[in-house]
Structure 1
Amino acid sequence: MKKIGVLVGLLALVLAGCVKLPDNVEPVTGFEPNRYLGTWYEIARLDHSFEEGLSRVTAEYSLREDGGIKVLNKGYSEEKGEWNEAEGKAYFVEDEQTGYLKVSFFGPFYGAYGIFGLDKENYQYSWVSGPNTDYLWLLAREPEVAEEDKQAFVERAAALGFDTDELIWVEHE
């Protein structure tokens, strides 16, 4: 019985570690969840198997009945000639005024979603980190952003330890 308790404790520590942000990434405060809802275009990302080869990637955020946020990610695979879609759920880690959520696409397993940059005036772009510096996204309300906004994102992300040389700039044709 003691071994089960130790295993459950270790599993809890592992799962909790997935919702931590990188040490130097601070989520935005003064966050307004209702303004963040709607469609966001993925402008840039560090690639992972779950998004490999996808273009025209979008994220749609809407309210869930349980107070969380529904996440619907879509992307087009040119190679397969088809759309890929994943539905998930997100909940605030601290409070609704802090851009720090935990997101799940796979049952009880959650990952960090930390908004560390945001156009607070108009909610037109968002800089998002995952649980470590291998996960990074630039999202925007339109499929294109100004070069100076891209450059500011790259500079800030590089200063935080993200490998911005590996960024994939997403096509939205």
Structure 2
Amino acid sequence: MQRRLVAALALVLAACSTEAPLFPAEVYRDTTVSMGSIASFKPDRYAGRWYEIASYPVPFQDGCRQTQAVYTPRNDNGFNVRNSCLDADGDLRSIEGTARPAGPGRLEVRFDSVPFLSAPYWVLWVDEGYRTAVVGVPSGRAGWILNREPTIPPDRLEAARRILSFNGYDLSRLRMTPQAAP
């Protein structure tokens, strides 16, 4: 299980890399479209639990449901990060790491079990109440819609989808993440 988790994380970091990937990964956005993170990002308001509402298919999340991320603030405006999901067998999978500031609305994420690799994590949009967020990576190999609750109101889901589209993401390939037991 641990070996599988480490291999899966290596795939996610490769998918997020702006350099040549270590592993093949699909690209879900037109990288000729300029992508921008939010300049008014407030790390203290971003802290806490986020539920993955939708994402682009990446190998490390095959069979995942009830996917969540918890961001715990650190003194350097970064976070300790814990990502978790239930796999196809109903077993909890989780991984821990850190996210450090890399510019306005931009973080570099590194996971403990994958040394020497980090990945860009750009917050593209957060609604005024910090209830819904859209996150992407410049390479276009990953993207997420996150929400503070396991369900999202239709208007915020539509706004999040529009942000992804504006940043060059192909909405036809976006997949909803099951948050309830099957």
Above 0.5 in TM-score? Answer: yes
* 1:85 corresponding residue in structure 2: 94
Q: Distance in 1 between matches of 2:57 and 2:36?
A: 22
Q: Distance in 1 between matches of 2:133 and 2:76?
A: 25
Q: Distance in 2 between matches of 1:64 and 1:131?
A: 25
* 2:150 corresponding residue in structure 1: 143
* 2:83 corresponding residue in structure 1: 73
Q: Distance in 1 between matches of 2:51 and 2:171?
A: 19
Q: Distance in 1 between matches of 2:67 and 2:44?
A: 22
Once the two structures are superposed, residues 95-117 of structure 1 have per-residue CA deviations (whole angstroms, 9 ceiling, x without a partner) of xxx21011012212111100011
Once the two structures are superposed, residues 146-169 of structure 1 have per-residue CA deviations (whole angstroms, 9 ceiling, x without a partner) of 112212222231232212111110
CA RMSD of aligned residues (A): 2.0
* 1:35 corresponding residue in structure 2: 45
Secondary structure in 2 matching 1:108: coil
TM-score, structure 1 normalization: 0.80
Secondary structure in 2 matching 1:59: strand
Contact kept, 8 Å, 2:70 with 2:81, in 1: the verdict is: yes
- Determine if the alignment matches structure 1 residue 45 to structure 2 residue 55: yes
Structure with bigger gyration radius: 1
Once the two structures are superposed, residues 41-82 of structure 1 have per-residue CA deviations (whole angstroms, 9 ceiling, x without a partner) of 0000001111111000000000246653111001011x2220
Runs of 4+ displaced beyond 2 Å: 15-18, 63-68
Structure 1 residue ranges without an equivalent (≥5) = 1-14
Q: Distance in 2 between matches of 1:32 and 1:66?
A: 13
Contact kept, 8 Å, 1:111 with 1:131, in 2: the verdict is: no
Q: Distance in 1 between matches of 2:155 and 2:116?
A: 39
Q: Distance in 1 between matches of 2:157 and 2:70?
A: 21
* 1:61 corresponding residue in structure 2: 71
Q: Distance in 2 between matches of 1:118 and 1:81?
A: 31
Structure 2 residue ranges without an equivalent (≥5) = 1-15, 20-30
* 1:158 corresponding residue in structure 2: 165
Q: How many residues align?
A: 151
Aligned equivalent of 1:126, options 127, 130, 133: 133
Secondary structure in 1 matching 2:118: strand
Q: Distance in 1 between matches of 2:78 and 2:163?
A: 29
Secondary structure in 2 matching 1:155: helix
Percent identity over paired residues:
28
Greater fraction strand: 1
Q: Distance in 1 between matches of 2:105 and 2:133?
A: 10
Contact kept, 8 Å, 2:131 with 2:147, in 1: the verdict is: yes
